Structures are given as C-alpha cells and as structure tokens.
Structure 1
Amino acid sequence: MKKMLGVFLVVIFLGSCKKEVSPIEITAGDYHNAMDRLTNIMVHDIFSPPVASRIYAYSNIAAYEVLVKGNNDLRSFSHTYKDFEPIPEPDSTVTINYQLAALIAHIEMGKQLIFSENEILTYRDSLYSSWEKLNKEEFEVSKSYGIQVATHVANWKNKDNYNETRTLPKFSIYSDEAHRWQPTPPLYMDGIEPHWAKIRTFSLDSASQFQPGSPPEFSLDKSSKFRQELMEVYSIRHSLDSLGDDSEELEMARFWDCNPYVSTQRGHLMFATKKITPGGHWLGITKIASKKKNLDFDNTVYAYTATSLAIADAFISCWDEKYKRELIRPETLINSFVDENWTPVLQTPPFPEYPSGHSVVSGAAATVLTQLFGEDFSYEDDTEVPYGLPVRSFTSFHQAANEAALSRLYGGIHYRSAIEDGLTQGLSLGAFVVKDLNLQPLNL
C-alpha cells in the first residue's frame, strides 16, 4: 500500500513539474520582417518590375485568405480573382493559430516564386525551429493549414499564363517605323515582358480595361506637340546640370528611380547596382503607414494585400499599352536627331515609353492607400535608405504619387504625356480596385 502511494505521489509531482505550453504569438512586425526578407531576395535575384508585382500579390493573397477563416471582420477578396476556387476549410477538430498559418502561407508561397530558394529556406527553417520549441502541437496544425492554402493558391497561380509567356518570342525590334521603340544604352537589352498583358488580371476585367488615351502623334516637325515634348526632356537635362548635383529635381529623380538593374561602366569594368522595384517601394510605404498607424497583424496583411493587388493589375494594364504603342524613348531620338552626346539622369529602362509605369503604379497604389489610411496621411519615406538615398517627407500618398510620376521627366526617360496620362490611368484603376474589393478605411 505504501509503495502504491509513493508511486502516486511521484506521478503527481512529475505532473506538477511539467512545463506549461504557451500560445505562439505572431505580431505585425513578424509580417513586416517576412515582407522585407522577400523583397531583399527579389532584389538579389533581379526580378523585373512586372514579375516582382506578381510575386508580392500571390504571397499576400495566400496569407490574407488564411486570416479570413479566423477573423469574421475580414472579407475574402476571392470574388474578384479569376478562376479561383475557395480555399480549403480548416479542420474544426484542431485549434489553428491563423496568424501563424498566414505567415507560413506567405513564406511558402514566396519560396515557390523566387530563384534563391536557399535564402528563404534558411529564414523559414529558423522560424520553424523557434515556433516548434514554443508549442509543437500548435505549430504543426497551423503549419499544415498554412501549407495547404499555399498549395491551393499555387495551383491557381500556375494557370495565370505566366508559364506560357516564358516560351513566347522576344519583342522584335526590326522595323523601319521611326516611332518604334529601340533598345537603349548601355546594355541595349531586349524589351522585357512583351507579353505581360496576357497575364491573368486580379481585379480588372481585362488588361485593356483602363487605357490612358493616346500620346501626341509622332512627328519631328518643330511645330509638333511630340517634338515639343521631346525637346522639353532635352532642355530639362541641361537645366539640371546648372542647378548642381544636390538640386531638388535630381534628388527626386534618384529617389524614385527604382530600377532593379542599373549597369555602371568604369573603364573596362561594368557592374550592376541592384534596387527595389516601383512596386517594392510602394509596399515599403505600406509598411511605413501600417507601423505609424500601429496596425495589428490582420489589418497589416489586409493593407499589404489590397495594395499589392492594385500594383499587380497596374503593371498588367500599363504593359498592355506599352507594347501596343511601342513608342520610342527620348534618349534614342535625342541621340539620333538632336545631340549624340546627350544622356539622361537615370538609365533608361528596357521597354517602350508610353505610358509611364511609375505613373500608373503610383496612381493605383496611392489611391488604395488613401482609402485605407486617409487623405492627409503624412509620413517619412525611408524606403530607399538601404540603397544609399535619403529620407523624403510627404503630406499624403497622392503627393508622393505625383512626385514619383514627375520624377521620370527629371530623370530624362519619359515625355510629359506619358507621365500625366499614366497617372490618370493609375488613379482610375486604383479607384476601381477600391470599389471592387470594397476596401474600408482603417479607422483604428
């Protein structure tokens, strides 16, 4: 009897010494870190702006749709996705940490879309190890659901025509038409993503739903509007030279450059400077706004997802028009007909001129962010600090969009019509996305 009582007391003692398991806490900061890690890998891998926007969109969609299952205040955006089947229902017999599952879905989705898989695996495995130590059971069931949703979204992603566009012919540059785009210095690269308009849209009905109008009729006659816009680009460059290297206009141009691959030549040596894309910059602004507003995890993902959807559709819309117009860049015409030694402030990107991609994307992103955070949302934009550029201050998202658009004129890579028409196109597209997604202000 005494022996049995002793065993009983030992069992009670061991049970009382058992370590209590705490829930795994996932914060908005964890999601910002995941987005930063994805961006850094994309910069390393040198994804073009359109392709980068696709990566952001699918990664955020996977995370957001997970959260919808655990938060009755969130509404799925799946009604707007083309050919999208609802995500799998969670197992009701287990307790899922939806924030954890969402973050895992984001990471797993991103892993499938980048090249440097080892970089994201190292990051993921470090997180997995720490979460498993905190609460193995919660981690395993949440991971299982996160991966299940990521797989579901990946299957849908694989049907967006991206893989098909990898096999289509390059953009043909052989033409006698004077207005037609030609490769530009220093690498004279082929036009990138000439078939991007074939990518399935997210909110838009089609790639051509929002068109910017038409650029001035091509003419090198001195009295033509096109020639006047060409000479404006040429003259502004010379004006900037007289203002000095620290002028506001030059700082603006450099701040919004967002060219993922700038080739620099020094003597016989040529090297690349890597930067974020325009979409990456605007999602950096989304991070700044979310942190200033102190959004929780769910609303942070909401803001990222809505903005990335607008950016992705903006690139599809813009690229549709670019390769329909095939308009030649200012640098090519100025070197051929005005001044062979003229160079733009920024390196001309390798794709047709009209409309300005920065203008379309900035207009769309600013419209979504204004709906979420308000008209007069001032902030300090430090997105470009890691790339050696200073902080710039803005009183609203639309002020930033206007500056981003105008910066392309100071950079010497766009005519005024491409800038103004592109901005109008982006604003209209953004307003459509706001309505289509039924975006609600974040009144927190």
Structure 2
Amino acid sequence: MPLPVSRFLLSMLLLVASVGGQSCRRMVPADYEPPADRIGWVVDEMNELMMHDVTNPPLAARFFAYALLAGNEVLAQTDSTCPALAGQLHVPLTVPRPATPGYSPRVAALLAMLQTAGKLQPSGSELKAREQELLDDCRHRGMPAEVLAASQQVAQQVAQAVLAYAKQDGYYRISDRPRYSPTEGTGYWYPTPPGYFAAVEPYFSTIRPFFLDSAGQYAPAPPLAFAPTKGSGFYQLMDSVRQVGNTLTTEQRQIASFWDCNPFAMQDQGHLQVGLKKMSPGAHWMKIAGTACRQSRVSFGRAMQVHTVLALTLTDAFICCWKEKYRSNRIRPETAIRRYLDPQWKPMLQTPPFPEYLSGHSVISTAAAGVLSHYFGPAYAYTDDTEKEFGLKPRRFTSFQQAAAEAAVSRLYGGIHFPDAVRQGQLQGHKVGQLVVRRLTHSATGEYAQSYQPTAVFPLTRLPKRNP
C-alpha cells in the first residue's frame, strides 16, 4: 500500500537532512590538524618580534632553539618522524609525559613553541594573540573544544619543562659579570660608526651548548698577528679588503646586501639615526629551512625536526664563534683601514658591534648548510626569497653549500671582515655541522662526514703567511 503523501514528504526531508548533515561534517572534519607550514608561521611571528626588539644574532638563535625544542619534544611523544632530541643533548632535558588524553599533538607542539617564545622574548606577551589566533582557526575548522583544551594543557607542561631547562643554561647569570670594556691598545676591536654601539654579548660563549662539549671544542687557528707596517701579512689583509671594497661589481653589491642581516643597521634621517629593522643571520637560515620544507612537502613531524635541529645548531655555532671573537678581540677592517691606509675609506655595509675574528655569518651559515644538506641532500636547488620584504631580489642556489659560501664571501664584499676570518669561520662551522649530524646518525664516520666539505671561498694558499 503506497505511503500517504505527507509521510512520503517527511521521509524525503529526513533523508536529505541526514545526507546534508554528513556532507557538512565532511566539509569541516573533526579530525583537522594544522599543516606543516604552521611551523614556519610561528618562526615568522617570532622573527617579527625579534626585529621589533632589535634582538642580537646570538640571542635570536637561542630564542629559536628553545621554542623549537619545546615543539619537537611535544611531537616526539607520538610522531615517529620527529625523534626526541632531549636525550641527545650534551646536558639531557627531562620532558614530562602527557597526563592529559585526547589532545592534538600538532596543536600542542605549536602552542608549546608560542608559549616558550612568549616567556623568553622581551615582547613575548604579544604572542598571546597568535596563540588565540591558532586556537580560533582550529575551532573554526571543526576541532572539538575538549581537544583544544587538552592540547593547551600538554603544551604548558612541556613549555614549563623547557623554560626551566633554559633558565639553567647560564644566560641569566651573564648580568652578574663585570661590564665589558674594549681592550686598550692597537689592533683590538673598538666601537664603529654610525651607532658606536657597545659590544654585543661578550659573555655568550659561557652559556651551556646543546651538542658541543664546550665553547672551545673547535677553537680555530689564531688570526694573523697585528702588524700594520707595509709588507706584513696583516697589511696585506687590510689592503685586500680596501681594494675589494673600492672595486665592487653590481653582483658583489647585491650579494653583500642580500646577506647583510644586521639588526643594528642605522639610517640617517636629518639629525636622527633610525634603525632599519633587519632580520638576524640565524633568522635568515630558519626561513631557508622553511622554504626547503615547503618545496619538498615534508610531513609536519619532519618539518619540526628540521627546524629544531637547525635552531640548536645555530646556537652552538654562535657559542663557539663568540668564544673566539672575544678571545682574540681583533680590530675591524673599518677601524684599521681608516687608521693605517685611508682615513676616508668606508665599507659598503655597516660594521656590526662586536670583534672581527671569526666571521659569525661564515660559521653559522656553513654549519646550517651541513645540517640542511643532511636532510635534503648535497645538491638541493632552491630560490631564496627571504629578503623580498627588504626590497631585495630573490637569489637562486644549486645547494645549501653554495648559499653558505656566498654568505661567507659577502662579508668581504661588505668590508666588515678580513679574508682569514671568513675562511677560518667556514672551517669552524663545518666542524659544528659535522658534529651535529654525527650525533643525529649515531655514527662517528658517517657518509656526511666523508663527503661534505665547505666551499673554499678563500683557499688557505691565498692568505698571507702568518708572522712568526
């Protein structure tokens, strides 16, 4: 017997409602998880605050390291593509197991990054808005409120453990040390124009490293002895920097500008000097890591691991580089050339406020290239557009090593480093990168250690002979 019309229509309406409801649930799935590029988003937000706060390069790397470490250790508890690093550190980190069930590992990892950075960075309270933005986005995409609440609890537990670990690295005890004063005498570093800033982080090498045994583990060869007399090795170094600076090509100027990464750069505006708000060298390499992760479409866990290992490596590279900078306390080219060769000479780039030897960019770039080559291969081609926001054209590289070599030679083009500081910086950075990869692969003589070598921007045979 056929159904009455009213009952038939009611049945059809219920069927449509049921199908429509299922369709809506598929459009906004309850199992939504943030994509891998959200990690780069947190890095970008941290970097914006660093530029606002004029965070110095070593300290910027330290901020990245602890924030990424928090995210990595949250994710490592459930994601096999993101192994834990806490036990591989020189001083192991104890991470609590999540006591709250039903959380999102990815959301918790991102929140742990933001919460850790929020406590470390001077303007970190502004990251609270980014936390809320992340939570609102996840809620809008269908993630249940109870999952978000559980994720917040897990993030807070791990962030607190990492912050306690950071508090013990010795950085906060630096303020108890005597105020640094430039060493008196010829041949030593002295503040440079236009800002004449005081020395940056003279005691950074005293903080606890992540992978290194100590800041002096890879001490470089000492710099050429200071001797400004004509014909000496040091005189040749001064003259080489002066000649390069006076004959720069358009390409060399572009390279110097692209890798400037000087948070302390100033610009004259009438009677005022205004900061240019540039990113740090470490932030530049963190963004390169993000570019590679997006280009290779790596998983969330893999992207977290790459960013974390890179941030830890950058910090260790700064620690050992800063050890030598304030040990040798060498004069900058700008000061030496004006004093002994040409009183009117000016470098293309503004000289950063710390001693010359070693070149920090050479150290950290070579170390970073080693780590990224480990993850993506020794011939990984990519386009670096990280400096577009500063009006600079993207640059194409055939490998991370090529990019690191260009970053190193940019310091000579910019007139802020002598050739031996660049070359020895590359060698130290190479050793730091090797150490990190050996730690990760649990091999003292792995394939990476045998095959990877930094590009020789300045072969040692071209450098002036050392004075006896």
CA distance, structure 1, for counterparts of residue 197 and residue 93 of structure 2: 39
Pairing 1:169–2:169 present: no
Equivalent in the alignment of 2:458? none
Local SS of the residue matching 1:264: strand
**Identity percentage over the alignment?**
38
Pairing 1:113–2:113 present: no
Contact 1:23 1:138 in 2 (8 A): no
Counterpart of 1:249 (choices 237, 248, 252) is 252
Counterpart of 1:181 (choices 175, 178, 189) is 189
Cα drift, residue 360 of structure 1: 0.3
Cα drift, residue 353 of structure 1: 0.3
State the number of aligned residues: 421
- 1:104-135 CA-to-partner distances (Å, cap 9, x unmatched) read 11111111111223431122122223434531
Contact 1:263 1:271 in 2 (8 A): yes
Equivalent in the alignment of 1:414? 417
Pairing 1:148–2:151 present: no
Residue pairs, 1:11-410, within 5 angstroms: 22-91=30-99, 94-132=101-139, 134=142, 135-175=144-184, 177-240=185-248, 243=249, 247-410=250-413
CA distance, structure 1, for counterparts of residue 81 and residue 259 of structure 2: 36
CA distance, structure 1, for counterparts of residue 216 and residue 348 of structure 2: 31
TM-score by length of 1: 0.91
Equivalent in the alignment of 2:460? none
What is the root-mean-square deviation in Å for CA atoms of aligned residues? 2.0
Paired amino acid for 1:157: A
- 1:193-227 CA-to-partner distances (Å, cap 9, x unmatched) read 00001111000000000112111111112111111
Contact 1:62 1:105 in 2 (8 A): yes
Paired amino acid for 1:94: P
5+ long unaligned stretches in structure 2: 1-17, 448-468
Cα drift, residue 174 of structure 1: 4.9
CA distance, structure 2, for counterparts of residue 102 and residue 153 of structure 1: 12
Paired amino acid for 1:437: L
Per mean C-alpha deviation after superposition, the further-off stretch among 216-225 and 353-362 is: 216-225
Distance 1:169 1:388, change over 3 A: farther
CA distance, structure 1, for counterparts of residue 193 and residue 354 of structure 2: 12
CA distance, structure 2, for counterparts of residue 119 and residue 108 of structure 1: 11
TM-score by length of 2: 0.86
Cα drift, residue 263 of structure 1: 1.1
Paired amino acid for 2:59: V
CA distance, structure 2, for counterparts of residue 381 and residue 72 of structure 1: 30
CA distance, structure 2, for counterparts of residue 80 and residue 198 of structure 1: 20
Contact 2:119 2:125 in 1 (8 A): no
- 1:33-88 CA-to-partner distances (Å, cap 9, x unmatched) read 11111111111111000000000000100000111100234321112324434211
Counterpart of 2:427 (choices 419, 424, 428) is 424
Contact 1:31 1:301 in 2 (8 A): yes
Contact 2:183 2:329 in 1 (8 A): no
CA distance, structure 2, for counterparts of residue 346 and residue 30 of structure 1: 34
Contact 1:170 1:194 in 2 (8 A): no
CA distance, structure 2, for counterparts of residue 426 and residue 205 of structure 1: 15
